[in-house]
Amino acid sequence: MAVAILAILAGVLLERVAFYQEQAELVAVQEVASNIRAALDVELTQAQLPGRAVDLGVLAAQNPIALLDRKPANYLGEYFSPDNNELPPGNWYFDRHDKTLIYLLNNRESFGNAPAKLLKFKVKLLRLPTKVAKPSGASENAGVTFEQVND
The whole-number pLDDT of residue 81 equals 83
pLDDT tens for residues 131-143?
555 555 555 556 7
Q: Is 27 helix (H, G, I), strand (E, B) or coil?
A: helix
Neighbours of 95 (CB within 10 A): 19
**Pick from 145, 91, 88, 79: which is nearest to 119 by CA?**
91
The per-residue pLDDT for range 68-80, each reduced to its tens digit, is: 999 999 999 999 9
Q: What is the pLDDT of residues 5-33, one digit of tens each?
A: 999 999 999 989 988 988 899 899 999 99
3-class state of residue 62 by DSSP: coil
Backbone angles phi, psi at 53, to 5 degrees: -120, 140
35-59 tens-digit pLDDT: 999 999 888 888 788 887 777 888 8
